[in-house]
Amino acid sequence: MVSTILSFLSTLSHFSLDFFASFFNPLAPYLIERYGIEVKLLTSFLTLTSATASLSQIFFAAMFDRVSSSKKILFTIYIFEFIGISMLGLATNFWVALISIFLVRIANSSFHPLGAAMAGEHSGQSVAFFSIAGTIGSALGPIFISFFVLNFDLKYLWIATMPLLAISIWILRTKIPGRTVVKKEKVSLAETSVLLPILLVVTIRSFSMSIIHTYTPIYVTRVLGYPISISGALITSGTIAGVFANYLGIVLMKKIGAKRQDLIAFLGMAASIGFMMLSQNLTLLFIFYILFDFCGFLLMSANVVQAQSMLPHRKALASSVAMGLAWSIGDFAASAYNAIFGNNVLLSMGLIIPVTVFASIYFGVVQKFDTKV
């Protein structure tokens, strides 16, 4: 019963928090026009804030593994995300908007190791549903914000964030069971080194998906000339495909192992990018973008379950490595990449093809690490 309550709360929170945190990439064309900034300035800072926030997960995870109570932590996360989203709507310049984005991403990143640990109290399948909930939230957020800015002034965005405030108050008034904790044990480098293969896989996947997710809205609106509602619908469609891929990824890993799954996923990502960039037809653009996200999300839950099974007594820490640390390294790399290639949208997207081909060969063929959970 205790683990079921924690699993439900982590799943609800993952959906809610990721829904609002997914606003930023589809807003990129709008923010570029609103503040009169260069493409590479916005894309560099979007990935830099994401990287910095993701890096913080490793520190939050080490702390959360020693704290059994989740109530006050969850309440604080919800309040910070509520403030950040509200600030974005009221921001009068790019730097205020950037601060609000960073605040939301810090709050959202701090939740992930806690939420994954809460879900992991129940079962590996609960982790899959936890990831699926976040994916659904991330899928619905872009299309919501795209249509919001087409119909309302962004200054009214604070009204849309009221569910965050309502849930935070409900959490504060609800009795939440404690989690399994690890006390008075220092984390050793040798202990966490077993997660290195997963760290590398997630870093490459994170880098590749960060680039494509950042540039696709700009590619669709500024290169192909479609309205922002189309880019929002495109991102939503890809993320919805990720809902099914998340669950399938765990099933597939049990059947064929990590190596074959990496080979399939990264090759699929490479092929879909190439065909997407060759497609002027809107239907084909949707098909290949959805295929890209499906292949990328195929590894997401699977990587977290792998990490937790390899470090079962430190689920939050294992989750933070498979998510936060790896994501941050990937996003820091993406930020540097954007600073160099940022204004050339087609080149920025196209260079991800050889990256993912290399990843498929290395992780799917060359390296010795393999596992079935």
Question: 153 to each of 25, 231, 275, 287, how far by Cα in Å?
Answer: 18, 19, 36, 32
The token pair at 20 is 């609002």
* Residue 36: count of CB within 10 angstroms of its CB: 8
Host H or E run for residue 153: none
Contacts of 271 (CB under 8 A, 6+ apart): 291
pTM of the model: 0.72
Host H or E run for residue 287: helix 282-297
Q: Please name each of the domains of the chain with its CATH number.
A: 2-180+188-366 (1.20.1250.20)
- Measured distance CA(356)–CA(362) in Å, rounded: 10
The candidate with the shortest Cα–Cα distance to 112, out of 257, 295, 325, 302, is 325
- Measured distance CA(342)–CA(316) in Å, rounded: 34
Tell me the mean pLDDT per 10 residues along the chain, length 373.
68 91 88 87 85 77 65 88 93 91 90 76 67 84 89 90 91 70 56 76 91 90 87 87 84 82 92 91 92 91 76 69 77 85 87 94 78 52
Q: What is the pLDDT of residue 84?
A: 94
